[in-house]
Structure 1
Amino acid sequence: MTAPGPARLRLADPTERDDLGAFTARVVRLESSAAVRLTTGDGRVTAWAPTPFDVLVTRSVAGTLDPAEPVTAYASSLLTALAVDRAEAVDPGPGAAWAEELPPETGWTRVDDVPAGALDGLAERGLALAREHAGPMGPPASLMDQTVLTVTPPGGQGRPVSVPMRVLFAMSGMGFLGSPPEGAADGAAGEAAGEGPLVRVSVSGSWTRLDARYGAVVRRRTMSLPLSVAG
């Protein structure tokens, strides 16, 4: 039996290639040894990556995987392939381990939209605090887990969603809130008439997702196995 060949990544056009490359470059900048998980469906390829902030970041571009199965590659190898291999089909590189749980593809409920500029300001203030209080292991967990934003559905219908500082750090570090990464195209979050970019806050089960123009951050809201249960 002939062993299957390497997976091939096909992107719709150079803009989509540059978009995925910009996302991957940001991942490598945050964590040089990070892996990227590629999934495909409905004519799109979605990239997932862990961050040092214990949240996942993701970006979807037009393209396909052949075969149409999830592939995990080192972010650095994928970045090199996207930059060097200009062929129509790209080899993502050597396989890497993936242990992260991915959120569901469907079942998301929009909570509300938040101005990206407001989140950018909160992230900047948080970074200033992190630099002031960082120790040998980086910013304290108390700062990372501090709730910096509570999003309530319009009309108060539904449970409020708390957004911790670590989510904003990830969004800022990936360039999702500020200027667009080089070569990036517009993403899912919209822009109201006369207003700046918006970040859509959605929930699905125990997951929270923040979609900005150039990518999204996803985080579990509850632990799978609580350490204690209040009586």
Structure 2
Amino acid sequence: MLHVADPAERENLATFLTRALRLDVAAVVRLRRRGERYVSAWVSTGFEALAVRTVLAELGVDDVTVAADTVLAGLSSGSPIDLGYSMDSAWRGALPPTDGFTHIDDVPARSLVELAERGAELAREHGSSHGPPASLLDQTVLTASADRISVQVPMRVVFALTAMDFIPHSGDKTEARRIPPTEIVRVRATNTWLRLDARYGSVARRRGGAIPLTPN
């Protein structure tokens, strides 16, 4: 069972799941208890990156994967949600750790949306029926640095962040000009994971050929 008593938290989780289902109509969500009062909901974005939002809630088990549309339908009432049968076998791969991330830099959210806009234009020009070319998705579009630590952010992670609409904006569509100049996205990393934290959620991806997070 999942119980999200606060109406605002139900709305937050419903918005998150709606965006996940927009990317994949058969999406599953992995619910994981975080402490005594919170539950983190994880989904795959289709960009080889995971998205997460944490809400104030009660979960009857420590960790379970279920159909996203089942949870979304149950959120319409304030009653505890019967999650039904678990779909743990549908989840592929591990989750990033909850601790151990190093804060690398704060990046203007508007800059990331501009990168996504330019990437979308290139995808339309050079993509196919299978979506954007892998060379575009894997291209490093941002390098965040702190002291002597450097982390590369690929386009696919930026696409995942904007596809989940985690950056606040005015209007119905995420556009760079609608993003307040003061809005930031925080870049964090471990030796093996990259994470971008925005106001409404985070995206994370394993770092291929990761640079150790230690000074040279």
* Normalised-by-shorter TM-score class: 0.7 to 0.9
Identical residues among aligned pairs (%): 46
**TM-superposition CA deviations, 1:32-71 (whole Å, max 9, x none):** 11110000122101000112111100000111201x3211
| Equivalent residue in structure 2 for 1:72, among 62, 65, 69 | 65
Q: 2:159 aligns with which of 159, 169, 172?
A: 169
Find the aligned partners of 1:195 and 1:33 in 2 and give their Cα distance.
36
Say if 1:22 and 1:181, in contact at 8 Å, map to a contact too: no
User: Which of 45, 49, 53 does residue 55 from structure 1 map onto?
Assistant: 49
Which residue identity lines up with residue 92 of structure 1 in the other structure? L
Tell me, what secondary structure is at the counterpart of 1:106?
Answer: coil
Q: How does 1:214-225 map to 2 (within 5 A)?
A: 214-222=200-208
Partner amino acid for 1:164?
A: P
1:204 aligns with 190
Residue range with higher mean Cα deviation, 202-211 or 73-82: 73-82
Instruction: Report the CA distance shift for 1:181/1:15 in structure 2 as closer, same or farther (over 3 A).
Output: farther
SS in structure 2 of the partner of residue 90 of structure 1: coil
What is the deviation of 1:220? 0.5
Q: 1:93 to 1:173 in 2, by over 3 A?
A: farther
Contact map agreement 1:35 1:73 (CA 8 A) in 2: yes
Superposition deviation, residue 94 in structure 1: 3.7
Correspondence 1:147-186 to 2 at 5 A? 147-153=140-146, 157-179=147-169
Secondary structure of 2:41 counterpart: strand
**Structure 2 stretches of 5 or more lacking a match?**
173-179, 211-216
Q: Does 1:45 align with 2:39?
A: yes
CA distance in 1, matches of 2:137, 2:181: 29
Runs of 5+ consecutive residues of structure 1 not aligned to the other structure = 1-7, 183-193, 225-231
1:107 to 82, 88, 100: 100
RMSD of aligned Cα (Å): 2.0
TM-score by length of 1: 0.81
Q: Is the 8 Å Cα contact of residues 180 and 214 (structure 1) preserved in structure 2?
A: no
Give the Cα–Cα distance (whole angstroms) in 2 for the partners of residues 142 and 216 of structure 1: 24
Q: Which residue of 2 aligns with 1:15?
A: 8
Corresponding residue for residue 214 of structure 2:
none
Q: Verify the 8 A CA contact 1:172 1:178 in the aligned structure 2.
A: no
The alpha carbon displacement at 1:181 in A equals 11
CA contact (8 A) 2:194 2:205 kept: yes
Cα distance in 2, alignment partners of residues 204 and 151 from structure 1: 13
Contact 2:168 2:199 in 1 (8 A): no
Partners of 1:113 and 1:131 in 2: how far apart?
A: 29
Equivalent in the alignment of 2:28: 35
Determine the structure 2 residue equivalent to 1:185. none
The whole-number CA distance in structure 1 between the counterparts of 2:114 and 2:127 is: 20
3-state SS, counterpart of residue 196 of structure 1: coil
The letter for the 1-side match of 2:16 is F
8 Å CA contact 2:71–2:81 kept in 1: the answer is no
Deviation of 1:117 after TM superposition, in Å, equals 0.8
Q: CA deviation at 1:92?
A: 3.0
